[in-house]
């Protein structure tokens, strides 16, 4: 799966890569309303604590917060934290459903970005990391930084 351009990213869930170990990634479309697209163009999205749930064979993104613009239409009552339907192929839905039925596995939203004129969401199947694993990850990052510093100074 190609990585999204850095300029085109709307929101990113940075803490998810620290809290979870990912083994499978999917790209999904999101069913949005007009006011939500306008808010996303203004960068008013927050992915923190967002996750994917399966209901009736469909995937929904919960926890995504899209704040409405002040100039939103008066005849629409915006719900900033509504569940948004994810647009995936049937075989991908099956893979996500079977993986999330396993104990300790979950599906987390990692980023929202523009692909041409469409809004896409990168989601990943994850296993939660233990506190010890998080400490080891921090230690590895720190040693990698130290090595890079020493190479630059030479």
Helix (H) or strand (E) holding 127: strand 118-128
Q: Residue 20's closest CA among 113, 151, 109? A: 109
Region of 136 on the Ramachandran plot (φ > 0 left; ψ -120 to 50 alpha; else beta): alpha
Partners of 23 in beta bridges: none
- pLDDT given at position 72: 66
Contacts of 39 (CB under 8 A, 6+ apart): 45, 66, 67, 68, 69, 72
Which pTM was predicted? 0.78
Between CA 83 and CA 90, with CA 88 as vertex, the angle to 5 degrees is 120
The answer to whether residue 138 scores a pLDDT higher than 90 is no
The answer to whether residue 68 scores a pLDDT higher than 90 is no
Mean pLDDT of the chain: 87
Can you tell me the distance from the alpha carbon of 104 to that of 129, in angstroms, rounded to the nearest whole number? 10
Q: Using 50, 70 and 90 to split pLDDT, how confident is the model at 2?
A: low
Backbone angles phi, psi at 80, to 5 degrees: -65, -25
The answer to whether residue 133 scores a pLDDT higher than 60 is yes
- pLDDT given at position 96: 92
**pLDDT, mean of residues 8-37:** 90
Contact 66, 36 (CB under 8 A): yes
């Amino acid at each position: 799966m190609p990585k999204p351009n850095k300029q085109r990213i709307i929101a990113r869930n940075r803490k998810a890569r620290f809290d979870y170990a990912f083994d499978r990634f999917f790209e999904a479309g999101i069913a949005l309303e007009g006011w939500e697209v306008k808010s996303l163009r203004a960068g008013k999205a927050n992915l923190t604590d967002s996750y994917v749930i399966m209901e009736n064979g469909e995937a929904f993104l919960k926890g995504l917060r899209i704040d409405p613009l002040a100039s939103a239409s008066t005849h629409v009552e915006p719900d900033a934290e509504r569940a948004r339907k994810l647009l995936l192929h049937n075989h991908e839905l099956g893979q996500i459903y079977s993986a999330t039925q396993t104990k300790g596995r979950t599906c987390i939203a990692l980023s929202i970005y523009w692909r041409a004129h469409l809004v896409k969401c990168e989601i990943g199947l994850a296993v939660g990391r233990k506190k010890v694993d998080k400490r080891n990850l921090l230690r590895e990052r720190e040693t990698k930084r130290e090595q890079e510093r020493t190479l630059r100074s030479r």
